Structure 1
Amino acid sequence: MIKHTLLTFLFLISAIVTQGQNKEPLEKVVITSEKGKTQVSAHENGELQVNVAPKDVVKFKAAGLVRYSEFGAKGDGKTDDIDAIAATHAFANLHSLLVKADEGATYYIGGKERTAVIRTETDFGTASFIIDDTEVQNRNASVFMVGSDLKSFKPEMLPSLKRNQKKIDVSLPGPCLITVTNANVKQYIRFGLNQNNGSSQTDIFVVDKNGNVDMNAPIIWDFDQITDITALPIDQTPLKITGGRFTTIANKAESKYTYYNRNIAIRRSNVLLEGLQHHIKGEEDHGAPYGGFINIGECAYVTVKNTILTGHRTYSTIGAADKPVSMGTYDLSVNRALNISFVNCSQTNDINDNTYWGILGSNFCKNLLYDHCTLSRFDAHQGVANATIRNSTLGHMGINAIGSGVLLVENSTIRGRSIVNLRPDYGSTWQGEVVIRNCVFVPADGKPINASLISGSYSGQHDFGYTCYMPERITIENLRIDDSRHPENYQGPAIFSNFNSEMTNDSYREKFPYVKTKEVILRNITTVSGKALRISDNPFMFRDVKVTAGQ
């Protein structure tokens, strides 16, 4: 019988940069189909050599699916199965096959630098995955990366852009996610213990093949100049990933900002992730923070549904201001992404236990949604355009956001220190409106504090790289404030916290003026304490706000 090579295929995928992810190839796999048995071997240079017997190629294609065990995975919870897992996905990607984990298997994944790239439907089913982070070769190497066959490219450079521009002058092969940058302008110049010099002005939006901008996620900045532009075609076919029980054995590294990204990174648009569980064990009194076990970036139209997550323990380090600071550490992370939904998601630990950090961090996003979620925090660091929280319960870290558009909170219970905290480190800015409807607010989970509905801080002395706004209009309807436990000198809940305790008369000068709220509309606000809602501990600052109360 003549030996013949049916196929040699080389995958080379460049990593996407997000929160310290590197630019080295994520996957380097050579697939052959030669006489002999199906086997997987790793070369010293990191290349994965996969030979699939010709008869197995026929069998797998006829079945329409492959399993990890068919590529040598033991599933015994002890043998490192990452090479077999990566090989299975590489073959499935080549032939557009479904990947199924073996029912009841436990796959151990050690610290080897190997990323399994998912491009086809995957069913983790009832299988368990143990991800051991105690000895990791590359903390920035994702365990799984959900990728696309479509490649990003550089369209013709645009001279400039305007906020809310409806069309850009480019011709594209189809709908694309466009990212633009002006490296000569710095924004989000952070203030406080984690101070920094800001990020280059950036925006991300969807256009059709004719350059028409999806105005549900509009351009939010004026760009006088564009120094970089990237177009990423949007997959039109949905990709579904289901099941799986993942357990991270936590790292024991020094407590400093060396983020671990041993995660499932989603870098493809139009993805549904459903039924996954993530647990954490082995956390001690120190450790490096995590950049999100589910890490979504550079994509659009992603839904995480019916998923159970776990908050990480909070560790502290010395921040940029040479003072101790608690490090953000996340199980969910969303960066440079549009139309991302979390539906019916919860976490294993108490959402009101402040020894665990808030579960979500996000930057440069548009249209984020929590629906039927019970989670410790919603957070938008470097801006979100439009966010909705509905039918949900938020724990001790509550809702933290800066950004623009509409921030809608409805049919939800908020147990943070305020309903919405406008992040002071980024200027407590929201250029748009806030709507709070049919909600219950339990200040600080019932601890005795002076409650305020909208909190933040703004001195007017720091340049954040943009004009800072308070919400132009705030509408609050059908709100019950459970302030039954409160301090002895409690005056009643305030609409606004004291944003600037030094601004008590006309003599105070803001170097960078704050654009204050114009109108607050109140309808059917009740307090358990019986004390009336008032404007603020600093009535001077909010003296020009029009408050309209009605039933």
Structure 2
Amino acid sequence: MAKYTFLTLLLFCAFLTYSQNKSPLDNIVITSEKGKTAVYANEKGELQVNVSPADVAKYKAAGVVHYSEFGAKGDGKTDDIDIIAGAHAFANMHRLSVKADDGATYYIGGKVRQVIIQTDTDFGKAAFIIDDTEVQNRNASVFSVTSGLKSFKLENITSLKRNQGKIEASLPGPCLITVTNAKVKQYIRFGLNQNNGSSQTDIFVVDKSGNVDKNAPIIWDFDQITEITALPIDEKPLKITGGRFTTIANKAESKYTYYNRNIGIRRSNVLVEGLEHRITGEGDQGAPYGGFINISDCSYVTVKSTILTGHKTYSTIGAADKPVSMGTYDLSANRALNVSFVNCSQTNDINDSKYWGILGSNFCKNLLYDHCTLSRFDAHQGVANATIRNSTLGHMGINAIGTGLLLVENSTIRGRSIVNLRSDYGSTWQGELVIRNCVFVPADGKPFSSALISGSYSGQHDFGYTCYMPEKITIENLSIDDSQHPGNYQGPAIFTNFNPEMTGDSYQEKYPYVKTKEVIMRNVTTASGKPMRVSDNAFMFKDVKLVTGQ
């Protein structure tokens, strides 16, 4: 008697600050009847996957399935997305790994069909063409790496405190906790992309007993909680390797209709290694992208030895009714903890301003670049602890706001400053900044009056939180290549002029800026021979204690 098994997969679309949609439940019917192993879509668009009993036994004995075994053509012309989705659905059910066929080229068109990955997947030397010229649902990831574990709401937790060490909850094991207070708005953006802010949000990891991981602490006081959920963390690592992906870029109108045709990672404890992503077909217009590797609502994710591509920058009319360049990303992290990018690079010139900076992130903790050569590091709506080491950053440099320790070491920075504290979110860093053993080439060697730390703060806008400059800044063994400088150059400054209007005590900040208390500088050299200065705005930084020498 034939056995029928029904597998229901919940498809998640990418979480981004500018878009938050969920696709409907999608039923995949898996059967094991005599006859041919095949995948096809019924009249409702649902997938029917039949695997013969002999093939079931064979695949389970081998521990792996191949796309070709389910009927994938791999000829670069036939749309193989249904076959790929069906192969993964069967593999997920039986906990088998998946292997693409080396030498194959899998074409993926614009139809709605999401591939759910829950087991180790080796894309190997196969090529994947993702055609975005005619997409039915731009919000749906092509591949979604998910957990078989289900999230659940926590009851009886009505408030939280910053740096709270434990929550009182009954948990099955280590969990990722996400908490929201919709009654409080933060990150109330200022400038051309102004908005009304985001609901107060925090995300952290607890063990089975509810103890909070001290390396990623709770960073806000929650006087009220409107939603708090726990997602169990998969203890077994999931590995995704290889694959040569090419996106044929969309040609949509240039406005904030983000495309999320990507690999969405929604599971903790994942390694992506050896993947390549390229982009073709970018024309005179196009909608922006939300990251080809899009990491969200998870922890312990590493992207290693991966080659990426910066997207062409398009402009639109922003919220302030003025032209604005649109952020568009090949890497994205949102509400994610302990995310590492190791030995990653990009195909296009990291100093070519035609291409937008490659990473965007929001609500993250413990982000790492190590041995990376990329155009930008960026934390929009806050990061708690970030490290850039052994890396080279291009024309958009390091942009961040947040808390904790921002560490830049053994790296070369070719942006306009070493660290830009984003002015649209209050140029705030509540913690410490350390710059150690680095080379700074201002504006990639173009004539430029450089400052190590840039930002802007008028004190007249409410961002939804108190804004801070790093309380303590340590700069050690820094070489500044400012040999190409303008004629009126006075030497590099520690701080840019954060508020040109603040020139005396008469200037009143409605929302006062908590300024840096101490800067420690040791062994800072300039190619121009000109000495370091504190800032063009001597008044604003008059109370900063400057410690120099050994």
Shorter-chain TM-score: what band? over 0.9
Name 2:336's counterpart in structure 1: 337
Say if 2:176 and 2:206, in contact at 8 Å, map to a contact too. yes
Name 2:411's counterpart in structure 1: 412
Name 2:130's counterpart in structure 1: 131
Q: Where does the alignment leave 5 or more consecutive residues of structure 1 unmatched?
A: none
Aligned equivalents of 2:188, 2:265: Cα separation in 1: 28
Name 1:295's counterpart in structure 2: 294
CA shift, 1:24, in A, is: 2.0
CA shift, 1:5, in A, is: 1.7
Describe the SS at the equivalent of 1:25: coil
Name 2:348's counterpart in structure 1: 349
Name 1:71's counterpart in structure 2: 70
CA shift, 1:155, in A, is: 1.5
Aligned equivalents of 2:179, 2:478: Cα separation in 1: 40
Letter in 1 for 2:192: L
Name 1:151's counterpart in structure 2: 150
Name 2:5's counterpart in structure 1: 8
CA shift, 1:285, in A, is: 1.1
2:36 is aligned with 1:37: yes
**What is the aligned-residue identity percentage?**
81
CA shift, 1:22, in A, is: 2.3
CA shift, 1:16, in A, is: 5.2
Say if 2:265 and 2:293, in contact at 8 Å, map to a contact too. yes
Letter in 2 for 1:408: L
Name 2:114's counterpart in structure 1: 115
Name 1:510's counterpart in structure 2: 509
Name 2:497's counterpart in structure 1: 498
Name 2:168's counterpart in structure 1: 169
Describe the SS at the equivalent of 2:401: strand
Say if 1:106 and 1:127, in contact at 8 Å, map to a contact too. yes
Aligned equivalents of 1:268, 1:123: Cα separation in 2: 17
Name 1:367's counterpart in structure 2: 366
Aligned equivalents of 2:45, 2:402: Cα separation in 1: 43
Note the alpha carbon deviations across 1:439-460, whole angstroms, 9 max, x for none. Answer: 0000000011110000000000
CA shift, 1:9, in A, is: 2.1
Note the alpha carbon deviations across 1:97-151, whole angstroms, 9 max, x for none. Answer: 1100001100000001111100000000000000000000000111100011101
Letter in 2 for 1:338: L
Q: Where does the alignment leave 5 or more consecutive residues of structure 2 unmatched?
A: none
CA shift, 1:538, in A, is: 0.3
Note the alpha carbon deviations across 1:309-354, whole angstroms, 9 max, x for none. Answer: 0000000000000000000000000000000000000000000000
Say if 1:314 and 1:328, in contact at 8 Å, map to a contact too. yes
List aligned pairs for 1:236-255, cutoff 5 A: 236-255=235-254
Aligned equivalents of 2:351, 2:11: Cα separation in 1: 39
2:34 is aligned with 1:50: no
Say if 2:261 and 2:292, in contact at 8 Å, map to a contact too. yes
Name 1:84's counterpart in structure 2: 83
Letter in 1 for 2:357: G
Say if 2:14 and 2:140, in contact at 8 Å, map to a contact too. no
Say if 2:11 and 2:116, in contact at 8 Å, map to a contact too. no
Say if 1:26 and 1:141, in contact at 8 Å, map to a contact too. no
Describe the SS at the equivalent of 1:295: strand
Of the structure 1 ranges 186-195 and 156-165, higher mean CA displacement relative to structure 2 is found in 156-165
Note the alpha carbon deviations across 1:236-265, whole angstroms, 9 max, x for none. Answer: 000011000000000000000000000000
Letter in 1 for 2:266: R
CA RMSD of aligned residues (A): 0.8
Aligned equivalents of 2:14, 2:265: Cα separation in 1: 12
CA shift, 1:39, in A, is: 1.0
Say if 1:26 and 1:114, in contact at 8 Å, map to a contact too. no
List aligned pairs for 1:263-282, cutoff 5 A: 263-282=262-281
Say if 2:278 and 2:347, in contact at 8 Å, map to a contact too. yes
Describe the SS at the equivalent of 1:7: strand
CA shift, 1:399, in A, is: 0.1
CA shift, 1:429, in A, is: 0.1
Letter in 2 for 1:388: T
CA shift, 1:27, in A, is: 4.2
Name 1:402's counterpart in structure 2: 401
Cα separation, partners in 2 of 1:390 and 1:27, compared to 1, 3 Å: farther
Q: Runs in 1 of length 4+ with deviation above 3 angstroms?
A: none
Of the structure 1 ranges 149-158 and 288-297, higher mean CA displacement relative to structure 2 is found in 149-158
Say if 2:31 and 2:50, in contact at 8 Å, map to a contact too. yes
Cα separation, partners in 2 of 1:229 and 1:17, compared to 1, 3 Å: farther
Aligned equivalents of 2:256, 2:135: Cα separation in 1: 16
2:169 is aligned with 1:178: no
Name 2:218's counterpart in structure 1: 219
Say if 2:14 and 2:294, in contact at 8 Å, map to a contact too. no
Cα separation, partners in 2 of 1:157 and 1:253, compared to 1, 3 Å: farther
Name 1:104's counterpart in structure 2: 103
Aligned equivalents of 1:507, 1:353: Cα separation in 2: 43
Say if 1:362 and 1:382, in contact at 8 Å, map to a contact too. yes
Aligned equivalents of 1:65, 1:325: Cα separation in 2: 48
Aligned equivalents of 1:115, 1:21: Cα separation in 2: 17
CA shift, 1:26, in A, is: 6.2
Aligned equivalents of 2:4, 2:351: Cα separation in 1: 55
Letter in 1 for 2:15: T
Aligned equivalents of 2:358, 2:13: Cα separation in 1: 22
Name 2:530's counterpart in structure 1: 531
Name 2:188's counterpart in structure 1: 189
Name 1:421's counterpart in structure 2: 420
Aligned pair count reads 548
Say if 1:27 and 1:116, in contact at 8 Å, map to a contact too. no
Aligned equivalents of 1:127, 1:186: Cα separation in 2: 46
Aligned equivalents of 1:44, 1:531: Cα separation in 2: 74
2:8 is aligned with 1:18: no
Describe the SS at the equivalent of 2:10: strand
Describe the SS at the equivalent of 1:90: helix
Letter in 2 for 1:211: G
Letter in 1 for 2:538: P
Name 1:434's counterpart in structure 2: 433
Note the alpha carbon deviations across 1:343-389, whole angstroms, 9 max, x for none. Answer: 00000000000000000000000000000000000000000000000
Letter in 2 for 1:191: F
Say if 1:21 and 1:261, in contact at 8 Å, map to a contact too. no
Say if 2:23 and 2:140, in contact at 8 Å, map to a contact too. no
Describe the SS at the equivalent of 2:152: coil
CA shift, 1:154, in A, is: 0.6
Give the TM-score of the pair, scaled to structure 2. Answer: 0.99
Aligned equivalents of 1:81, 1:268: Cα separation in 2: 25
Aligned equivalents of 1:410, 1:123: Cα separation in 2: 34
Describe the SS at the equivalent of 2:435: strand
CA shift, 1:217, in A, is: 0.1
Say if 2:8 and 2:25, in contact at 8 Å, map to a contact too. no
CA shift, 1:497, in A, is: 0.2
Describe the SS at the equivalent of 2:90: helix
Letter in 2 for 1:8: T
Aligned equivalents of 2:21, 2:324: Cα separation in 1: 26
Say if 1:106 and 1:129, in contact at 8 Å, map to a contact too. yes
